Amino acid sequence: MKLYDLTIHELRRLLDQGETTAEEVTGTIYERIRMLEPRVAAYLSLAEERAMEEARSWDKQGYGDTTKPLAGVPLAVKDVICTKGIRTTCGSHILANFVPPYNATVALKLKEAGGILLGKTNMDEFAMGSSNENSAFRPTRNPWNLDRIPGGSSGGSAAAVAADECIAAVGSDTGGSIRQPASHCGVVGFKPTYGRVSRYGLVAFASSLDQVGPITKDVTDAALLLNVIAGYDQRDSTSVPKEVPDYRENLLEGLAGVTVGIPREYFVEGLVPEVERAVRQAIKTLESLGARAIEVSLPHTEYGVAAYYIIAPAEASSNLARYDGVKYGYRDREGKTLMEMYRKSRSEGFGAEVKRRIMLGTYALSAGYYDAYYKKALQVRTLMREDFLTAFRQCQALVTPVAPTAAFPLGEKVDDPLQMYLSDVFTLPASLAGIPGISIPCGFTSEGLPIGLQILAPHFEERLALQVAYNFEQNTDFHLRRPPL
């Protein structure tokens, strides 16, 4: 038995039966981290001493408390989520030495449920990117092929899960940052409905889009983690005061009577044949399990990239104004005037992509351009949301590819921002509409790279996405394969 490749539910069973201890599992995973990190580079910080201490304390206390579903489970957290006393960099030089004085609500909930924080995972700077190459520190590599990107921006979390350098992880998704890296790393990634999970203590990128969610080895774990982190939080005014169902409850329900919509706009030029084949095959599998598949249309899909890359940078330009060298983060010491200090702190602290977004966003919000760009983008966003609402009158869930290609080579798109942005084409619409979406493994390319299937559901119908995903997973074995490390 390899302790590191367990899922949450498997590990909990072993702990409950006394077949292993939290200390043993946590120690084993740190050994694996030491062995693999020189190649994978999924983590930015580790909290080993603290984690081992917590593990021992769980072993002493026992795991029986049902309010602690994660007791003794070692987890990784994306470095955009504030962790009290543990460095939180957002993958940026400007926060390279930032140690938050408080926990994000998500971090707190994981801790209160008994989760053990192994460390903080690598990401594109301020979650801006699709490849992890925008990390100010170093790129994470794809465990399936070390010359490929793991996806982004939660690439560190996805790679850590895929490489068994943690039992499960959390990431954040603004335009695909959970789903796309999960797809490229062959694991499960779930972006809940906007407002389902608190954003308090999640460093803001684009506040009308940001959402936290699980990255796990299987669908059951995604449901389990969502159970822990979902729910209203009075500290986040956009979190929704809606009851949180037990997301594991209807996993076992079959697909008879479920209609899945296949949006024709997601099968267009640019989608490579191998990925299309795997997704079409997955749809056949769903049909064989009792689902009815129908073609639907989301006519405004083609405007998603353009709208997102106005709205997200606009919000980012405003959110990132707080990094002024005064309140926290990097401060230039040489500037002679206040203005010079601001300018130098920001010029030296931010990387190229972040600066590009600040400029794009500032431009789109400036007088004279606001109506032409920002307002227009918001109008497109409304139309895209309506597309989804219309489609969901004909079906309960939508099934699509996650990304047009499997993981691309490191360096391939890094100097071509537009190509990088276009790779988000299938994940951005759900973010703009605020609906939940899960990415699950559905195949491999001839080169052995994972391919993901995206399942989208109506607002707050996470259960439907999980149900479709679980049925697929239980009848296939893609999620059981491990990278050859």
Where does this chain bind ligand GLN (CB under 6 A)? 127-130, 153, 173-177, 205, 312, 424
In whole angstroms, the minimum distance from the beta carbon of 127 to ligand GLN comes to 4
Under DSSP, is residue 46 helix (H, G, I), strand (E, B) or coil?
strand
Closest CB to ligand GLN among residues 155, 263: 155
**Rounded to an integer, what distance in angstroms lies between the CA atom of residue 205 and that of residue 437?**
19
Q: Which token pair is 458? A: 């109506």
Burial class (CB in 10 A: 0-12, 13-18, 19+), 348: middle
Which residue, judged by CB position, is nearest to ligand GLN in the bound state? Answer: 177
In whole angstroms, the minimum distance from the beta carbon of 416 to ligand GLN comes to 13
In whole angstroms, the minimum distance from the beta carbon of 424 to ligand GLN comes to 5
In whole angstroms, the minimum distance from the beta carbon of 353 to ligand GLN comes to 8
**Rounded to an integer, what distance in angstroms lies between the CA atom of residue 12 and that of residue 21?**
10
Strand partners, 43: 121
Q: Are strands 188-191 and 211-216 parallel, antiparallel or unpaired?
A: antiparallel
Tabulate helix, strand, coil % of the chain (nearest 5). 40, 15, 45
Closest CB to ligand GLN among residues 3, 305: 305
Closest CB to ligand GLN among residues 177, 467: 177
For residue 161, what are the CA distances in angstroms to 6, 184, 273, 326, 438?
A: 10, 12, 27, 36, 16
Closest CB to ligand GLN among residues 14, 204: 204
Candidates 130, 135, 153, 345; catalytic one: 153
In whole angstroms, the minimum distance from the beta carbon of 56 to ligand GLN comes to 36
In whole angstroms, the minimum distance from the beta carbon of 159 to ligand GLN comes to 16
Closest CB to ligand GLN among residues 81, 262: 81
User: Is residue 239 annotated as a catalytic residue, yes or no?
Assistant: no
Closest CB to ligand GLN among residues 89, 153: 153
In whole angstroms, the minimum distance from the beta carbon of 266 to ligand GLN comes to 17
For residue 394, what are the CA distances in angstroms to 95, 202, 446?
A: 46, 35, 35
Distance between start and end Cα atoms, the chain: 17
φ, ψ (nearest 5 deg) of residue 220: -55, -45
CA 24 to chain centre: 28
Handedness of CA 456, 461, 462, 465 (dihedral sign): negative
User: Is residue 78 annotated as a catalytic residue, yes or no?
Assistant: yes
Candidates 68, 78, 191, 413; catalytic one: 78
Closest CB to ligand GLN among residues 191, 248: 191
Closest CB to ligand GLN among residues 26, 153: 153
In whole angstroms, the minimum distance from the beta carbon of 357 to ligand GLN comes to 8
Q: Which token pair is 162? A: 């895929």
Q: Which token pair is 470? A: 């679980």
User: Is residue 177 annotated as a catalytic residue, yes or no?
Assistant: yes
Q: What is the DSSP string of 297-353?
A: --TTGGGHHHHHHHHHHHHHHHHGGG-SSSSSS---S--SSHHHHHHHHHHHHS-HH
Q: Which token pair is 106? A: 């998500």
The count of residues in the chain is 485
Q: Is residue 468 within 8 Å of residue 453, measured between CB atoms?
A: no
Burial class (CB in 10 A: 0-12, 13-18, 19+), 369: middle
**Rounded to an integer, what distance in angstroms lies between the CA atom of residue 434 and that of residue 430?**
6
Q: Which token pair is 149? A: 């990107």
In whole angstroms, the minimum distance from the beta carbon of 225 to ligand GLN comes to 18
Closest CB to ligand GLN among residues 54, 173: 173
In whole angstroms, the minimum distance from the beta carbon of 202 to ligand GLN comes to 11
**CB atoms closer than 10 angstroms to residue 363:** 16
Closest CB to ligand GLN among residues 114, 192: 192
Q: Which of 110, 114, 121 minimizes the C-alpha distance to 225? A: 110
Q: Which token pair is 26? A: 């946590």
Candidates 177, 183, 317, 439; catalytic one: 177
Strand partners, 74: 116
User: Active-site positions?
Assistant: 78, 153, 177
